[in-house]
Structure 1
Amino acid sequence: MINATDLPDTIPVFPLPGALMLPRTRLPLHIFEPRYLAMIEDCMKTKHRLIGMIQPRDTPQSDKRATGTRPAEKRLQAIGCAGRLTGFSETEDGRYMVTLSGASRFRVKEEVQGFTPYRRVIVEWSPFERDLGPSEDDKGFKRAPFMDLLSRYFTAMNLSTDWDGLSEAEPELLINSLSMLCPFSHEDKQALLEAPSLDTRRETLVTLIEFALRGGADAEVMQ
């Protein structure tokens, strides 16, 4: 567990399109690029062992003086989620298989210029103080109709899952895991990340699923 007083002002970030991590979830990562191998090695030397998962925006950053980012790199979203490095193994060819445990979301204040091959940002944690607290409850969650909707969505998308596990999962684990795993767009993933509460995230998730069932980008989905 991480306390608010343990959260650093500056963290390394791993910009990865479509990757979503939420508090109290786990995200496995396969690390092979040299700059991110260096990031993992540096992270393991810190007390907090935090890495920020964040999505890049579609547009490149054009003004280095104004932003402190490398000109060729894409701008970062304003909000990401930091995870604590809790699992690590190394393959014979030097790749790292790691697990991040979601700790807290953060807001990017500015990007740090420096000599590290990976990107670092100065962050603000205070808007997400309850991320460090106990699991959230969703008093408006109705499992039966939700699972029925989910079943129709998985059938339409030709997805498979452990239905027994989903049926028994607590609301927070269920909603957050589906938010991470369902094949939504980058923008939709960001909306799920930024949802201020579990019930809001569930409502957003339901809206996205219903949109997909109505056709979404593929009109043939609707039966």
Structure 2
Amino acid sequence: MTSFSSIAVRELPIFPLPEVVLFPGRPLPLHIFEFRYRIMMNTILEGDRRFGVVMFDPVRGEPVSVGCCAEILQYQRLPDDRMKMITLGQQRFRILEYTREKPYRVGLVEWIEDQPPTKDLRPLAEEVRQALREVFYLSNKLTGQEIDFPEEVPDLPIELSYWVASNLYRVVPEQQALLEMQDTASRLERELEILTSTRNHLSARAALKDAFQGS
């Protein structure tokens, strides 16, 4: 086996999920029913309660190599040994190799982090927050709902970048790309592009709605 003594690595049970990308600091509720994953979770509960969540790529027919470690915060046992649990995203990782395939996959992983920023990211983060506010306002206007801007939206740039990425809908490949980025500024800039495009689309729909209502 290759030596990885120069970098921090560990073995981690791997839980592949279709259409799910977990980010650090974000909750992930799970319903565990497959036999092999019931075995996995029972083993994890006897240890540090951590496992790796990776998105299952349906095109390649296998899990992607970059995922996020999850920690079990709460769990409830159901009939026939099924479980419901609340987990929380921790560090991101890259799978170097699989050390075991059955009854569930175990991977040798290295932790990955964002590079230290070379500039003050607070102005960019505020641009992202403002675009997010405008998307919420326009969504409320179009649906006729009164949904308040979430209080839990983080202020710190890196945490904000994870929050926004985790709340994007129906764009799993984009979420995976954001997870794999190791530059906070690049992640925020891409999210600003997505939010700006969404805001412009919603604004056009809102203008059309106003025109019909006013005619």
User: Could you tell me the TM-score, scaled by structure 1's length?
Assistant: 0.69
2 CA distance for matches of 1:111 and 1:222? 53
Output aligned runs, 1:15-30, within 5 Å.
15-30=16-31
2 CA distance for matches of 1:178 and 1:9? 29
2:186 aligned with 1:200, yes or no?
Answer: yes
The match for 2:110 among 124, 130, 140 is 124
2:128 aligned with 1:139, yes or no?
Answer: no
- Alpha-carbon RMSD across the aligned residues, in angstroms, is 3.4
Deviation (angstroms), 1:57: 1.9
Distance of aligned partners of 1:214 and 1:150 in 2 relative to their CA distance in 1, 3 Å threshold: closer
2 CA distance for matches of 1:222 and 1:121? 51
The residue that corresponds to 1:52 in the other structure is 52
Distance of aligned partners of 1:170 and 1:95 in 2 relative to their CA distance in 1, 3 Å threshold: farther
Output aligned runs, 1:33-112, within 5 Å.
33-46=34-47, 48-60=48-60, 74-92=61-79, 94-112=81-99
The residue that corresponds to 2:13 in the other structure is 12
Deviation (angstroms), 1:11: 0.9
Distance of aligned partners of 1:146 and 1:113 in 2 relative to their CA distance in 1, 3 Å threshold: same
**What SS does the aligned partner of 1:105 have?**
strand
2 CA distance for matches of 1:39 and 1:211? 41
Deviation (angstroms), 1:105: 0.6
The 8 Å contact of residues 82 and 104 in structure 1, kept in 2 or not, is answered as: yes
Pairs aligned (count): 193
The 8 Å contact of residues 25 and 173 in structure 1, kept in 2 or not, is answered as: no
The residue that corresponds to 2:174 in the other structure is 188
The residue that corresponds to 1:178 in the other structure is 164
1 CA distance for matches of 2:197 and 2:43? 42
Deviation (angstroms), 1:103: 1.8
The residue that corresponds to 2:5 in the other structure is none
2 CA distance for matches of 1:186 and 1:98? 22
2 CA distance for matches of 1:77 and 1:35? 20
Deviation (angstroms), 1:174: 4.4
The residue that corresponds to 1:209 in the other structure is 195
Q: Which runs of 5+ in 2 are unaligned?
A: 1-7, 209-215
Counterpart AA for 2:126: K
2 CA distance for matches of 1:222 and 1:18? 33
**Higher Cα radius of gyration:** 2
Q: Which runs of 5+ in 1 are unaligned?
A: 1-6, 61-73, 131-136
1 CA distance for matches of 2:207 and 2:184? 28
Quote the sequence identity (%): 23
Counterpart AA for 1:96: M
Deviation (angstroms), 1:29: 1.5
Distance of aligned partners of 1:139 and 1:44 in 2 relative to their CA distance in 1, 3 Å threshold: same
